[in-house]
């Protein structure tokens, strides 16, 4: 049999046999190229577990393809371009095929390298479908998009109407953390194998600038592991997911969250399979509707909306800074300084240990603090992309530049997600043992979130006064008798955040 003259290049976040450029291919029709790029490994200060996840999953996938009979050219090169050039030199393929990369820069680079790009099925919404849906609309609200998704995908629908006669059970899913000391669902820690250990040894040998603890087996690196994690969530945590999905607890890092995003974001799980599993669990009667709907909204609503908006806006979106925010990233975020803020310390400790924080910790602790302190949105985006186990540019740009830091002026969210310490006090148990009082705006014991919240409104009043959703808050700010003292306290907080002394 003659050597195949087609090369399929499998990228590190497209590790699925049936949804990328490998779909429909066999060992007789192509060889496979996979490249570890040293430039990508050194581009940022990555979390150790984030690097391990991608490299281990790539190497495991390469072994799976070899076991299927594929010839796999797995290369370590200074850049992707050098890896491709070496492959072309050695194998002289007639064509190199790859699925469209998940970033603007990736599409541009592979096109420049003469790679033929083909459509993929890693998401449920093609960017062109979103653009057609968006055409002629004055507002591109996620809720409207989500309802369209439900209808076109026929998820939780009955006779053209939403199951339960409501599209959204979000109001039922904002309960504060329970005080009954309940045990939360557990998840399997997968035993590290020889490939995992080799990846960790390489990370150390290459002297990469990384931080964070070694992996402890929480993050799936193969499809069977990812499927096991999905099964555990559907049968264990999903019934409890809904009501307390916005809660935060110091001693419980995941509550009933799925921890599936890292597997979906590198291709080990498909969002359609995840959605179907959750819907079927509800239809069988084992999961309440508010939990099933809330989780499905995260997958086919928010996740797909973020994906589509990333492509809809284009590459210039990355540089937006509507609020002219230029504060540096707090050293407390990067592990280079400790902090007395209990909620921040707890969230960062979780990041150190697991490269993970759930969505409310991301938005209302880290994002809220960065927003109200005026942290530069590009610095925050780069850090979160490198730090979180599920980090990717398409994920982080809309979520950080748009949702968390309002740097897009309201294209993603109609108002800034800013709050004082009262929200964290309501939705967590952090404030009980904190050095700061969420009810205080001034003085050394004032909660930094509370002082910064009012200062944020005052500092950005000219920019925000046209926002109809902030009229009441801005009016309240103007009525504060001690606004000047509050802003003085906030100025101190911003300095101490920047210098790592808070």
The domain segmentation of the chain, as residue ranges, is 6-118, 127-193+221-313, 319-499
pLDDT at 1: 42
Cβ atoms of residues 52 and 203 within 8 Å: yes
pLDDT digits (tens, 9 = 90+) for 331-357: 999 989 999 999 999 999 999 999 999
Residue 172 confidence class, pLDDT cut points 50, 70, 90: confident
Q: Say whether 97 sits in a helix, a strand or coil.
A: strand
Residue 173 confidence class, pLDDT cut points 50, 70, 90: confident
pLDDT at 374: 98
Q: Which residue has the tokens 């979390």?
A: 47
Cβ atoms of residues 77 and 83 within 8 Å: yes
CATH node for 6-118: 3.40.50.620
CATH node for 319-499: 1.10.579.10
pLDDT digits (tens, 9 = 90+) for 74-123: 999 999 999 999 999 999 999 999 999 999 999 999 999 999 999 999 99
pLDDT digits (tens, 9 = 90+) for 405-428: 999 999 999 899 999 999 999 999
Torsion of CA 135, 138, 144, 148, to 10 degrees: -20
pLDDT at 409: 94
Which pair of structure tokens corresponds to residue 132?
């057609």
DSSP 300: I
Number of neighbours of residue 53 by Cβ within 10 angstroms: 28
Torsion of CA 321, 327, 331, 333, to 10 degrees: -30
Number of neighbours of residue 343 by Cβ within 10 angstroms: 29
pLDDT at 3: 60
In this structure, the strands spanning 161-162 and 157-158 are antiparallel
pLDDT (mean) for 155-170: 94
The model's pTM: 0.94
Asked whether this chain's domains 6-118 and 319-499 adopt the same fold, the reply is: no
Cβ atoms of residues 494 and 448 within 8 Å: no
Q: Which residue has the tokens 């195949």?
A: 4
Q: Which residue has the tokens 């179907």?
A: 276
Q: Which residue has the tokens 């040998």?
A: 205
Q: Which CATH fold would you assign to the domain 127-193+221-313?
A: 1.25.40
pLDDT digits (tens, 9 = 90+) for 18-63: 999 999 999 999 999 999 999 999 999 999 999 999 999 999 999 9
pLDDT at 182: 87
State the distance between the two ends of the chain, measured CA to CA, in whole angstroms: 68
Q: Find residue 96's DSSP bridge partners.
A: 7
Residue 311 clears pLDDT 70, i.e. is over it: yes
């Amino acid at each position: 049999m003659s050597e195949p003259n087609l090369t399929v290049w499998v990228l590190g976040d497209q590790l699925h046999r049936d949804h990328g450029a490998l779909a429909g291919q066999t060992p007789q029709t192509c060889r496979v190229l996979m490249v570890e790029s040293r430039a990508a490994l050194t581009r940022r200060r990555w979390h150790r577990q984030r690097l391990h996840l991608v490299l281990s999953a790539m190497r495991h996938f390469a072994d799976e393809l070899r076991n299927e009979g594929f010839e796999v050219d797995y290369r370590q090169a200074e850049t992707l371009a050098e890896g491709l050039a070496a492959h072309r030199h050695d194998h002289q393929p007639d064509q190199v095929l790859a699925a469209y990369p998940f970033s603007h820069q990736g599409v541009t680079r592979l096109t420049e390298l003469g790679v033929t790009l083909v459509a993929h099925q890693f998401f449920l919404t093609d960017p062109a479908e979103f653009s057609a849906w968006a055409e002629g609309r004055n507002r591109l609200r996620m809720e409207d998009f989500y309802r369209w998704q439900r209808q076109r995908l026929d998820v939780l629908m009955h006779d053209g109407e939403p199951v339960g006669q409501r599209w959204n059970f979000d109001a039922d899913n904002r309960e504060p953390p329970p005080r009954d000391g309940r045990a939360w669902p557990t998840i399997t820690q997968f035993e590290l194998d020889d490939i995992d250990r080799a990846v960790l040894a390489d990370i150390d040998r290459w002297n990469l600038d990384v931080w964070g603890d070694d992996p402890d087996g929480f993050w799936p690196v193969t499809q069977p592991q990812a499927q096991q994690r999905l099964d555990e969530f559907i049968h264990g945590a999903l019934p409890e997911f809904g009501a307390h999905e916005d809660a935060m607890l110091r001693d419980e890092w995941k509550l009933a969250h799925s921890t599936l995003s890292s597997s979906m974001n590198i291709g080990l799980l498909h969002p359609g399979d995840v959605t179907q599993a959750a819907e079927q669990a509800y239809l069988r009667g084992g999961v309440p509707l508010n939990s099933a709907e809330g989780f499905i909204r995260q997958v086919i609503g928010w996740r797909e909306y973020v994906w589509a908006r990333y492509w809809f806006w284009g590459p210039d979106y990355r540089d937006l800074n509507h609020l002219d925010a230029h504060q540096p990233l707090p050293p407390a975020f990067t592990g280079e300084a400790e902090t007395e803020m209990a909620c921040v310390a707890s969230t960062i400790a979780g990041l150190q240990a697991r490269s993970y924080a759930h969505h409310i910790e991301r938005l209302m602790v880290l994002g809220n603090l960065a927003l109200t302190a005026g942290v530069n949105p590009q610095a925050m985006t780069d850090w979160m992309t490198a730090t979180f186990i599920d980090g990717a540019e398409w994920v982080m740009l809309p979520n950080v530049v748009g949702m968390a830091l309002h740097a897009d002026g309201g294209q993603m969210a109609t108002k800034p997600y800013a709050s004082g310490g009262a929200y964290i006090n309501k939705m967590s148990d952090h404030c009980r043992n904190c050095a700061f009082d969420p009810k205080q705006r001034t003085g050394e014991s004032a909660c930094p979130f509370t002082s910064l919240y009012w200062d944020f409104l005052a500092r950005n009043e000219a920019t925000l006064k046209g926002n109809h959703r902030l009229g009441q808050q801005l009016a309240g700010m103007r009525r504060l008798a001690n606004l000047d003292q509050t802003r003085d306290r906030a100025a101190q907080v911003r300095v101490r955040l920047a210098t790592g002394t808070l």
